[in-house]
Amino acid sequence: MNKILKSSQLMAPGSLVKAPGTLSRRRFVMGAASAMMLASLPFTQSVLAASLRKGLTTLSGKVFDLSIDYQTVNFTGTDVRATVVNQSIPGPLLRWKEGESVTLRVKNNLDVSSSIHWHGIILPADMDGVPGISFEGIEPGETFEYNFTVGQSGTYWYHSHSGFQEQTGMYGAIVIDPKDADPVAYDREYVVMLSDWSDEEPESIYAKLKKQSDYYNFRERTLVDLFDDISANGLVNTWNARSMWNKGRMSDRDISDVTGYTYTYLMNGNTPEKGWQGLFRQGERVRLRFINSAAMTIFDVRIPGLKMTVVASDGQNIQPVSVDEFRIGVAETYDVIVEPEVDNAYCIFAQSIDRTGFTYGSLTSDQALTPLIPPMDPVAVLAHRDMGMNMEGMDHGSMDMAGNGDKAMNMNKAMEGMDHSAMQMDMAGNGDQTMDMNKAMEGMDHSAMQMDMAGNGDKTMNMNKAMEGMDHSAMQMDMNNTSATGLGLAGYGSNNEIKHVSSEFGPQVDMRAASPRSGLSDPGIGLRDHQSLYKRKVLTYADIKGLTPTRDKRQPSREIQLHLTGNMSRYMWSVNGIKFADAAPLELEFGERVRITLVNDTMMTHPMHLHGMWSELETGDPDFIPRKHTVIVQPGSSISYLVTADALGGWAYHCHLLFHMPGMFRKVQVNNA
């Protein structure tokens, strides 16, 4: 039989493969060719048997004893020390019953402090497991006893909230059975836990990112890309487009901070060479409980040849939605129902958002059958919408993205021939940086000019009459001032106003979204054209509606707008331009109903997690608002949700990308009135 290569050894056709241990830092970026290579390898029954050996150990009952230990593991051919719960990666699956009280005795056998956070579980603040927020942590040699009553059902997970231990293997699944009849009918179920593993110590990964934020990105533009762009778009347009990105010190290839160069992607602790396998019998409805327990990887999931009916999101039942694929952010969970046919092997395919790697499993009626592994989808490239710009049809030239007032916008091609006399445009919002548009706009026919002011894509303004007889000499356009209105924010009832606070201006923030779009109906970068190209329906947040009516139908008494900010080149992350160490807590009054609007001023996707309370996603139907614990905020977009402050105490609120968390973090304090 042919040797099965580890994912980090898969190379494009014609590449040289060095001896183990001698591969250079640029040795691996797994593309579509690599995926097809893995698909073509002849798997034998012995390999499948090996994959079956790696399953999840299940513990059930009311009292659990968990130990945190070091253990040597080998996912890549190299022995590395991991941090594990009960001697396994993932840790044991914990099975609870809604309405029962559980006790979890956690013993720390490490030489450093540790903790376990019960992700998505509604419980008292002192049981939440976040050092420095809800308790002091579990010191070496000590045992901490968690006690709480389980007030919910569904699919959740647990992980360390100390340092970077989560990256080194400290995570596991939770399944809570409902106390009443389950509204979802199924015959068999499997937990599908996705994660990322690196032989590098997470502290080393973080240090490299701080020194060079694109250290793990080997898909930056090359000379070949430049020639291709010039051939397709012309020299001037290519120069202007690249100038805009370069002046903003940004890259349209920065999809993920940490990639398949260092990561091996796992499914239930199995590498892509081994695969995970789940069996079914004829006529069975199978429930797959997907959990993204990765540290830094957002996955896109599909099962070629098999429709998925999504029945739960973040543990909460939703009205069933039929899809072909879905994006699952770090810390999110989705439950799907599938109805596979016998004598088939289906590939459960999870590819990273940046398309640098994948993991997979098989769903089959016969252990000897193996699925065909599909190639990964093309690599996506960030666009202006991912910067929070709404400029369809515009020749962007060289636009100042940082609002510093010293970078101009070349509007020559976009407004050639338009006669606006002495029209001026303030790009920095300072009122004193102007552009003479006289020559750029000479003789332009305004009748055909349309401007989308609301960011909805279907609301246009005929500029012909709007500018008729207008004195353009004093006209200015503020592209990055402290507020902008009518920007099509997510949700209903929001005042649709974006406010950039003073703390967002400075070296800690390298861009601000001028016209953020709603992220509700956006499948996300790399998925937006899948319906038209591949006839694959992609799940969006707009598709999700709660199965049961909204519990708290009060209108919010106030709105809190938070900007997710950062400086990518310096690898600095923050909220409203302020890192966690310098930030005051977010104060809520017990019992109040608030709207939180998140505006992503960066070009990275951020999964935001609020501890202790539900994030009730405003998808447009106030009667069936879905409840989530983690919400993806797309690049350059906004999204809103309602929160009922029904949990006293201090709670963590943060981006769940592990290396963003040190800065993009807030403490939420719920106080008695």
Instruction: Give me the residues paired with residue 80 across strands.
Output: 73
**How does residue 116 score in pLDDT terms, banded at 50, 70 and 90?**
very high
Token pair 């919010």 in the structure block, residue: 556
pLDDT in tens, 556-590: 999 999 999 999 889 999 999 999 999 999 999 99
- Structural domain count of the chain: 2
Q: Is residue 233 part of a domain?
A: no
Domain boundary among 149, 182, 215: 182
Query: Using CA atoms, how far apart are residues 53 and 89, in angstroms rounded to an integer?
Result: 13
Give me the chain's average pLDDT, please. Answer: 80
Amino acid letter at 662? P
β-bridge pairing 517-518 and 637-644:
parallel
Side-chain-side CA neighbours of 433 within 13 Å: the count stands at 18
**How does residue 45 score in pLDDT terms, banded at 50, 70 and 90?**
very low
Higher pLDDT, 177 or 455: 177
Q: Is residue 623 part of a domain?
A: yes
Amino acid letter at 207? A
Higher pLDDT, 497 or 626: 626
- Res. 247: pLDDT tops 90: no
Instruction: Give me the residues paired with residue 321 across strands.
Output: 310
Q: Tell me what percent of the chain is helix, strand and coil, each rounded to the nearest 5.
A: 15, 30, 55
Q: Is residue 120 part of a domain?
A: yes
Which residue in 392, 397, 402, 395 sits closest to 239, CA to CA? 397
pLDDT in tens, 284-332: 999 999 999 999 999 999 999 999 999 999 999 999 999 999 999 999 9
pLDDT in tens, 339-352: 999 999 999 999 99
Token code pair at residue 644: 């009922």
| List of residues 6+ apart from 355 with CB closer than 8 A | 31, 32, 376, 377, 378, 379, 380, 526
Backbone angles phi, psi at 204, to 5 degrees: -70, -40
Which residue in 622, 509, 638, 646 sits closest to 570, CA to CA? 509
Domain boundary among 182, 209, 234: 182
Spatial contact of 184 and 312, defined as CB atoms under 8 Å apart: yes
Helix (H) and strand (E) counts for the chain?
Answer: 7, 34
Which residue in 205, 218, 148, 202 sits closest to 170, CA to CA? 202
Question: In 434-582, at which residue ranges do the beta strands (DSSP E only) sit?
Answer: 483-485, 497-499, 517-518, 558-567, 572-575
Q: Which of the residue ranges 108-117, 211-220, 246-255, 642-651 would you say has the lowest mean pLDDT? A: 246-255
**How does residue 591 score in pLDDT terms, banded at 50, 70 and 90?**
very high
Given this model, what pLDDT does residue 12 score? 27
Which residue in 300, 303, 225 sits closest to 256, CA to CA? 300
Given this model, what pLDDT does residue 149 score? 98
Given this model, what pLDDT does residue 241 score? 62
Residue 42 burial (CB count, 10 A): 9
Q: Is residue 302 part of a domain?
A: no
Given this model, what pLDDT does residue 124 score? 98
Q: What is the CATH number of the domain that holds 109?
A: 2.60.40.420
pLDDT in tens, 187-208: 999 999 999 999 999 999 999 9
Given this model, what pLDDT does residue 669 score? 98
DSSP 8-state assignment for residue 558: E
DSSP 8-state assignment for residue 240: H
Domain boundary among 161, 182, 203: 182
Q: Report long-range pairs for 403-407 (Cβ below 8 Å, ≥24 apart).
A: 403/427, 403/428, 403/429, 403/479, 403/480, 403/505, 403/512, 404/428, 405/430, 405/432, 405/433, 406/433, 407/247
- Please give the residue range of the domain that contains residue 504: 497-671
Which residue in 631, 632, 627, 629 sits closest to 616, CA to CA? 627
**How does residue 233 score in pLDDT terms, banded at 50, 70 and 90?**
confident
- Res. 419: pLDDT tops 50: no
3-class DSSP state of 7: helix
Query: Using CA atoms, how far apart are residues 454 and 515, in angstroms rounded to an integer?
Result: 9
Given this model, what pLDDT does residue 429 score? 37
Q: In this prediction, what percent of the chain has a pLDDT beyond 90?
A: 66
| List of residues 6+ apart from 561 with CB closer than 8 A | 498, 499, 596, 597, 599
Question: What DSSP letter does each residue of 123-184 carry, written as one string?
Answer: --GGGS--BTTTB--B-TT-EEEEEEE----EEEEEE--STTGGGGT-EEEEEEE-SS--SS
At residue 63's C-alpha, the angle toward residues 60 and 67, to 5°, is 90
Side-chain-side CA neighbours of 583 within 13 Å: the count stands at 25
Q: Is residue 9 part of a domain?
A: no
Amino acid letter at 142? E
Which residue in 367, 323, 327 sits closest to 350, CA to CA? 327
Q: Is residue 388 part of a domain?
A: no
Token code pair at residue 369: 């059958």
Spatial contact of 508 and 565, defined as CB atoms under 8 Å apart: yes
Q: Is residue 148 part of a domain?
A: yes
Q: In this prediction, what percent of the chain has a pLDDT beyond 70?
A: 70
Q: Is residue 315 part of a domain?
A: no
